[in-house]
Amino acid sequence: MTHWLSPNFFAFFPSTVSTAGFLGEMLCTCFNSVGFNWIASPAATELEMLVIDWLADMLKLPKSFMFQGTGGGVIQNTTSEAILVTLIAARDKALDVDGSGNLNKLVVYASDQTHSTFAKACKMVGISPRNIS
């Protein structure tokens, strides 16, 4: 039996189960665009930058959060990716401040309502399961 929520199970692939998600996936497949950087797909990258600026504007964030300013970002495909990228950024920032030898001292806090991939992401970035609160 596969235990999908086990922290040792890393082979989960997201599925598109909503109608909107299915149509979006079909549209992406038709274009077959590999949009991981500007060189590979300038149009997809420019569109992503525009959408992120729209979102920042709708949330009334300052220009420093937008590509128009000094900010920016990327749109993550899944919650799992977003959690992993966030933990990597937080880990790297903490280790820059405290020194790279302090990985075993890092502690993360989350509620009991946190997404199931949180523990897996912590494990992937090297945070001990004992340090998850």
pLDDT in tens, 31-79: 777 777 788 888 888 888 999 999 999 999 999 989 988 888 888 888 8
CB 12 within 8 A of CB 35: no
Structural domain of 126 = 76-133
Q: Note the pLDDT tens digit of each residue in 88-131.
A: 999 999 998 887 778 888 899 999 898 888 989 999 999 988 88
Q: Indicate the angle between helix axes 117-124 and 79-98, nearest 10 degrees.
A: 40
Q: Do both 39 and 70 map to the same domain? A: yes
Residues 123 and 85 both lie in one domain: yes
Asked if 81 and 14 count as a contact pair (C-beta separation under 8 A), the reply is no
Do 59 and 103 have their domain in common? no
